[in-house]
Amino acid sequence: MRLKRFLLRYFPPGIILEYEKGGELKTKAIDLLELSPTTDVDLVVEEIQKAEPLITASRTQQVKQLILRLQEKIGQQDSRQFYLFKVLRAHILPLTNVAFNKSGSSFITGSYDRTCKVWDTASGEELHTLEGHRNVVYAIQFNNPYGDKIATGSFDKTCKLWSAETGKCYHTFRGHTAEIVCLAFNPQSTLIATGSMDTTAKLWDIQSGEEALTLSGHAAEIISLSFNTTGDRLITGSFDHTVSVWEIPSGRRIHTLIGHRGEISSAQFNWDCSLIATASMDKSCKLWDSLNGKCVATLTGHEDEVLDVTFDSTGQLVATASADGTARVYSASSRKCLAKLEGHEGEISKICFNAQGNRILTASSDKTSRLWNPHTGECLQVLKGHTDEIFSCAFNYEGNTIITGSKDNTCRIWR
C-alpha cells in the first residue's frame, strides 16, 4: 500500500487518503467528527498515526497542517444576513419541493404543474423544464455529490431520470401502482430508491433503467426513505407507524423499528450510520441503534405532530420541526434538549442545518422562513415576502445561499 495524496473534507470534518493497493487506486476516510476549535491537534495526530499504517512519521507534519486547516474552517464565525436576491415566478401552480446540487450552482423545483425546472443559482435563469409527467411532480433530487442527474417522482406513479446538463430524459421507471412521494439516490449514484403510497419501495438501476428490487413488508404508505452514508442500508418510514431497515443490495429486511404510536413523517441516518432518527405524528422523535434496531431514546417536548427531523453533518445534533410551531435541538449523545426555537406563528414542515452546523433553517405555514442559532435557540433572521405557506427550504453546501419554495407558486433565492 502506497499513500498517493490527501484530500480535505470540510463538512463533516475528515481527511480522505488516496492510496495505491495492488496497482489499484483506492480511498479511505478518517472521520474527525469530534474536532472543535479547542481540540489538541498533536493528540489527534498521534491517535491517527497509531490507528492508520498509511500515516508514517514523515507524513505527520502534513496531517497536522490539514487538521489545523479543518480547525480554522470550523472556527469561522458567521454573522451574515441574507437578502432577497430574486423572486422566481417558477411555476403556474404551487411548488412541492426544492433542492440544490452539491456545489450550489444550480437547483431544482418540483410543482403541481407536472414539471420540474432546473435553475441557475447565480443568475436566477431557468435552464431546463423537465416535462413528461402526467401528474404532480412531488419528489425531486440531484445525484449529489456528482450533480449530473436528476430524479423526479410523481403522482402519476412513475419516476423519471434526467440529464441535469441537457434536460434529456434517460429513463421512465414504471412499476408502482400508486403515487410516488419520496425518492433518493444511493451515494454511489448507481441506484434510485422510490417510496410509494402503494406500500412498497423499489430500487431502480440507473444504467439499465430496470427495476432492481421491490421492498415489500409495510402495511401502509411509505412516506420517507433514505440511504446511509455508505449505501449498504436503506430506511423506509411508513404510515403503519414503523420504520424498516433494509440491507442493500440484497433487499433483506434487517430490522423493523417498532414503538411509535402514529404515522412516521421522516427517518434519517446520522453520518457514521450508528443512529437513526424518526419523527412521528405521535408528537415524538425517537433515536434508534441502527445495528440492533433498538430504541435508545425518545425525544419529547413537542405538543403536536413532529413533521421533520434532521441531523447536523457530524451527527452530533438532532433537530425536530413540529406542527406546534416550534423546533427543537437535541444532543444525539446526551439526548437532552439543548434549544427551543420559538417564534413561528404556524406549523413548521421543514428543518435543515447548513453544512457547517452553525445555522438552522425552518420553513413554516406562517409564510416565513427563519434562521436560528442551534446552540442558543436565538432567531437570527426572519425571511419574509412569500404570500402563502412555505413548505420547502434548502442551504447550498457553502451555506451562503438559501432557496425557499412556497404554495404561492414562487421560489425565492436569498444570499
Query: Looking at residue 209, what is its pLDDT?
Result: 97
> Which residue has cell 442559532?
373
Please give the Cα distance from 202 to 215 (Å, whole number).
Answer: 6
Q: Is 132 left (phi over 0), alpha (psi -120 to 50) or beta?
A: left
Q: What is the DSSP letter of 303?
A: S
Query: Looking at residue 342, what is its pLDDT?
Result: 98
List all residues 6 or more positions away from 47 whose beta carbon is below 8 Å from its beta carbon.
none
pLDDT tens, per residue, the chain with 415 residues: 999 999 999 999 999 999 999 999 999 999 999 999 999 999 999 999 999 999 999 999 999 999 999 999 998 888 899 999 999 999 999 999 999 999 999 999 999 999 999 999 999 999 999 999 999 999 999 999 999 999 999 999 999 999 999 999 999 999 999 999 999 999 999 999 999 999 999 999 999 999 999 999 999 999 999 999 999 999 999 999 999 999 999 999 999 999 999 999 999 999 999 999 999 999 999 999 999 999 999 999 999 999 999 999 999 999 999 999 999 999 999 999 999 999 999 999 999 999 999 999 999 999 999 999 999 999 999 999 999 999 999 999 999 999 999 999 999 999 9
- DSSP codes of every residue in 45-83: HHHHHHH-TT--GGGHHHHHHHHHHHHHHHH----PPP-
> What CA–CA distances, in Å, run from 45 to 15, 56, 203?
12, 11, 41
Please give the Cα distance from 154 to 172 (Å, whole number).
Answer: 11
Query: Looking at residue 290, what is its pLDDT?
Result: 97
Query: Looking at residue 33, what is its pLDDT?
Result: 96
The answer to whether 407 and 389 are in contact (CB under 8 A) is: yes
Of 382, 378, 340, nearest in space to 358 by CA: 378
Complete domains list, the chain, with CATH: 2-74 (no CATH), 84-414 (2.130.10.10)
Please give the Cα distance from 295 to 241 (Å, whole number).
Answer: 14
Please give the Cα distance from 249 to 342 (Å, whole number).
Answer: 42
Element housing 125 (H / E):
none
Please give the Cα distance from 8 to 249 (Å, whole number).
Answer: 30
Looking at residue 43, its amino acid is L
> Which residue has cell 429513463?
171
Q: What is the pTM of this model?
A: 0.96
3-state secondary structure of 241: coil
Pairing of strands 348-353, 149-154: unpaired
> Which residue has cell 438559501?
402
Return the bridge partners of 185, or none. 192
> Which residue has cell 489499484?
24
Please give the Cα distance from 105 to 119 (Å, whole number).
Answer: 9
Q: In this structure, what are the phi and psi dihedrals at residue 393, rounded to the nearest 5 degrees?
A: -155, 155
Sheet holding 2-9, edge to edge: 2-9, 14-21, 24-31
Q: In this structure, what are the phi and psi dihedrals at residue 63, rounded to the nearest 5 degrees?
A: -60, -40
Q: Is 399 left (phi over 0), alpha (psi -120 to 50) or beta?
A: left
Q: In this structure, what are the phi and psi dihedrals at residue 219, rounded to the nearest 5 degrees?
A: -100, 0
Query: Looking at residue 35, what is its pLDDT?
Result: 96
Please give the Cα distance from 114 to 156 (Å, whole number).
Answer: 9
Pairing of strands 411-414, 402-406: antiparallel
List all residues 6 or more positions away from 122 whose beta carbon is below 8 Å from its beta carbon.
105
